[in-house]
Structure 1
């Protein structure tokens, strides 16, 4: 199946779904097959699966928040419409409905999409077990050609479907997580060609497709000079859906029972207090009291735990959704003013905070992503791990923070090779002092037993580089300068 022209990007996702939908039964273990599709809200999962069902002549059913009886009735009606089969006796429960669904598809591969599956499993907790039974030996799925796709946005629920001792573990032949667009793809989607403007917009809305048209009515900034006005008329405007979106992202997660606590945790991370102890101190709790909320936010795919590359056991937390970072750092503290339409005044006094607490850390994350995705084009080899790290400098009694650490794969009986050490600056022209910090860190790591013979010292700058540093990089292939143009090329 060719990907419909109306779908932007998503080539890999479409190829995976199309292969799952069209694979002959004889090439599989026999009988029906299962796919689990998940991803945070607003990423276009439903749009993608509706197109898949349409292209394959399959069935698409979107569950709603309803009682078990109503959900069962709605599913029965959707199944009857698709199969054009008169279901004389209403199904007693989901046992009958799932068994009948599989029996309804027996002559050719047929896609059956159940979207917003968590709504169903919440009122019928046994539903995953029912599907597992019908897919197993003796179940109705053994003689079926159905390609069942379960989709949902509740990441804690969807992630648990195939984990641990879950009934469906080992049953899915496709597990697909629909991610936000990457920064280059996002710039193309927003039709932005200026790398600086693209980075600024991405720091606010990330790569979520729905924010381009549905949430901003198609309003995109026309230039860097228009960016401030665009922020005021979109994300800081109480009349746009984007204004309250960050709040809704948290409220929609059923695992979050105490929103005030979780907002405080997110505010701590957005403010740069990104270690376990730093978060605990910021919100006034003991470190052991925030373990659960951190785990819940991680399960919901709202934050990510990123280990320190040089200090085992220590990690930093990062908010995954840029819009939440923007809300916690800029909007939450000034919410009352924003609601009475004082966006211009709020933004005028918050713009510097945006550049330091939002754009700066966001650029670091983009540079780490670049190092991992395109490391073979930047360095002497493709790194196997990319992150950040801290190097102790006992002589100067300080710590050197390394924004981008790229390591090679660990080899037995050999020291770990450091492919690259990187410094990232958004609003500061990068010069020799930044390079010397990386050199100092490299020497300290060599003394600790790391292989730094071919380490590339990378400097990632949003405001450019000094003439002297540019000249030095031109004569030393172990010095790499990455500007915004290269980040988006």
Structure 2
């Protein structure tokens, strides 16, 4: 798949690179979940420039250094002493070298030094502080374990706290880019095909690339490709999260499984887990791991107890709904059975994802100051799928989301909106609309 979008991130990385080469060294941190395209973006930003790319695998420090030395020598056409056995010495050598000639140093999976030699971070801090102003290195570090990258650069007790000149958090492709990609690969796509691509991948570049390169991007084609023997999707969710959670991942997985299945309040989740207290895990899933979010009714106070939890990542949500929930089918290699379940449940599942799609569409239009759902704590009779407050004073949109417009009951939405106006938005002019597949 060709390189798509990332214009603002590329422009920022190139701006920093030029400053590093003309002024003095800069440190940029690129974070984001696995498969989000961090390495592709970084290498695009430094292409055709002198660049050293180092991948930190889980090996001994001496082994890594012996692997890095020929890479550095070849990349910069310099002699590097083979006797170097510590990353401290290697980094000092590179900083000294960059005072004579500017170059890019890219260190991928930077958080892995925690498992190799944690003192690397304090060593780097000392060397960086010594050489930064008198050298011209464009240092870019990236990592896909969100919690560790946060800790390294944003915890004030860590040695590299405050050393990053820029932190770029890479997100999934926006909707406009997804539309461009699906059109390039399948000009005759239906909106249901687009919704499926969004629902299954969430716009994560690697998943999009796999589907583009191996299917015709139809709903059935994508499901058949993902759900088959030796599919890379089968264990992807587990591989992605075990790295974050470590050995004690079972409770986190149980919580995420419950949320993906629609059990989304803390009391309900605790009941589903056998009345296990999960307040600490919920807090970590939000603050440390950035995997779930608290959803409150729009305009509810920050401390309101009316809270639902939602998995942010479309792929993780999909993976828990099917690959994790129906693991027994995968164990006996009944992939046809799992395909049948996903296909038969697709209209229900994608209906929920369609609401998420339109919230993102509203956000990417930059015409609103707040977007969310609204519901009352007791009962669902007064629940509105999307409420969006416009930038213009006292104007809002209330939307009901249906896969098919024929299922929309305008009088029902009008009644809910009237109730909302009386309760919360008395001065607002609220436009009501039904959003369906044809509005994508």
User: TM-score if structure 1 supplies the norm length?
Assistant: 0.79
Q: How far apart, CA to CA, are the structure 1 residues paired with 2:340 and 2:287?
A: 33
Shift of 1:89: 6.3
Corresponding position: 1:337 with 2:337: no
Show the counterpart of 1:184. Answer: 176
Q: How far apart, CA to CA, are the structure 1 residues paired with 2:152 and 2:325?
A: 37
Q: How far apart, CA to CA, are the structure 2 residues paired with 1:260 and 1:24?
A: 44
1:56 alignment partner, SS class: coil
Show the counterpart of 2:33. Answer: 40
Corresponding position: 1:260 with 2:250: yes
Question: CA 1:452/1:269 → structure 2, altered by over 3 Å: closer, same or farther?
Answer: farther
Q: How far apart, CA to CA, are the structure 2 residues paired with 1:296 and 1:230?
A: 29
Q: How far apart, CA to CA, are the structure 2 residues paired with 1:60 and 1:123?
A: 18
2:214 is aligned, of 216, 219, 223, to 219
1:128 is aligned, of 110, 121, 124, to 121
Shift of 1:155: 0.8
* Gaps in structure 2 of 5+ consecutive residues: none
Q: How far apart, CA to CA, are the structure 2 residues paired with 1:17 and 1:423?
A: 41
2:192 is aligned, of 196, 201, 205, to 196
Deviations 1:53-76 (A, max 9, x none): 332222111111112222233333
Show the counterpart of 1:469. Answer: none
Deviations 1:112-131 (A, max 9, x none): 10011111233222223222
* Gaps in structure 1 of 5+ consecutive residues: 377-382, 411-415, 463-482
Q: How far apart, CA to CA, are the structure 1 residues paired with 2:366 and 2:132?
A: 45
Shift of 1:36: 0.1
Question: CA 1:108/1:424 → structure 2, altered by over 3 Å: closer, same or farther?
Answer: farther
Q: How far apart, CA to CA, are the structure 2 residues paired with 1:199 and 1:158?
A: 32
Name which structure has the greater RCO, CA cutoff 8 Å, separation 6+.
2
Show the counterpart of 1:442. Answer: 420
Question: CA 1:261/1:434 → structure 2, altered by over 3 Å: closer, same or farther?
Answer: same
CA RMSD of aligned residues (A): 2.8
Q: How do 1:98-109 and structure 2 match up within 5 A?
A: 98-109=91-102
1:258 alignment partner, SS class: coil
Q: Check whether the contact 1:212–1:219 (CA below 8 A) recurs between aligned residues.
A: no
Q: How do 1:50-449 and structure 2 match up within 5 A?
A: 50-88=43-81, 90-91=83-84, 93-136=86-129, 139-165=130-156, 166-190=158-182, 191-192=185-186, 193-213=189-209, 215-216=210-211, 218-221=213-216, 223=218, 227-231=219-223, 233-253=224-244, 255-287=245-277, 289-292=278-281, 294-296=283-285, 299-312=288-301, 313=303, 314-356=306-348, 358-376=349-367, 383-391=368-376, 400-407=382-389, 417=394, 419-426=396-403, 429-446=407-424
Q: How far apart, CA to CA, are the structure 1 residues paired with 2:340 and 2:113?
A: 46
1:318 alignment partner, SS class: strand
1:368 alignment partner, SS class: helix
Deviations 1:330-372 (A, max 9, x none): 232322223444333333344454433x323322222111222
Question: CA 1:349/1:398 → structure 2, altered by over 3 Å: closer, same or farther?
Answer: closer
Deviations 1:160-190 (A, max 9, x none): 2321303333322221112111233123223
